[in-house]
Amino acid sequence: MLKLMYITNRADIAQIAESAGVDRIFIDLETIGKKERQGGMDTVQSHHTLDDIKTIKNVLSSSELIVRSNPIHSGSKEEIDSIIKNGADIVMLPYFKTMEEVRLFLSYVNGRVKTMLLFETPESVEKTDEILALEGIDEVYIGLNDLSLGYNKKFMFELLSDGTVESLCLKFRLSGLPYGFGGVAAIGTGMLPAEAILKEHYRLGSSSVILSRSFCNYEKVGSTDKIRDIFNSSVHCMRLFEKEIETHAKYFSENIDLVKKCIDKIIGDRV
């Protein structure tokens, strides 16, 4: 089953999401440069704070707390120290372009909590092999919004159809690191249907996904009871669908084994 992540700084919503089966609650501190990059897109511009980390940590009993920091800047060390001190289980580094930025991030975390790298610039993609060789990386993720902007795409999921995501996932898999990509709406919704995206997650060996704002836009829903009902039913439906496509995942893994055996036989016959 995929690890489901949901972005919120509201304690009541975090508790509802956790009880519904969401694996990770996501605090988003990233502000530096984000508005300028994504100003024309229908994306969430979070206004979370370091204090929100403490608040959310105090209400969670089973879900992990993941915190996205700002990109590397002059105050990164102090920011990361505070993120860890306030209770993050995982720190995510966004929008990096150079090896040095990743090295600094890893040195600032210094093994105190888990680390996750967010590949969302063309420059980071070009240096994927070198970056993955660094010590101290626990997980990786592909950010489709900014990466699609970097490649001048019209739709962020073009990266799923043009082979970019598949190429990165192969490198991640070979590195042995857990990985995920993009976001997903509730079953039966989404411009690109959630079902199609989830099947790609399984085909590509992904282990995590962010639940999009439309999965449960609690600011528009209103009552807590309705929000709880949406989370419970939507997560349940998603888990049921995952069980259905697990047979497809098995097919893909069996097919890869079959291809490998066939190639090995062909090579062996030619020796």
Closest CA to 15 of 47, 58, 50, 51: 58
pLDDT tens by residue, 1-10: 999 999 999 9
How sure is the predictor about 254, in pLDDT bands with cuts at 50, 70 and 90? confident
Global pTM value: 0.90
Which domains, ranges and CATH numbers included, belong to the chain? 3-270 (3.20.20.60)
How sure is the predictor about 214, in pLDDT bands with cuts at 50, 70 and 90? confident
Query: For the residues 219-243, what does the mean pLDDT come to?
Result: 92
Alpha-carbon gap, residue 109 to 178, rounded angstroms: 19
How sure is the predictor about 89, in pLDDT bands with cuts at 50, 70 and 90? very high
- pLDDT over 60 (residue 127): yes
Higher pLDDT, 191 or 85: 85
Mean pLDDT computed over every residue of the chain: 92
For residue 57, the cross-strand partners are none
96: left (phi over 0), alpha (psi -120 to 50) or beta: beta
Alpha-carbon gap, residue 239 to 59, rounded angstroms: 24
Say if CB 118 and CB 141 are below 8 A apart.
yes
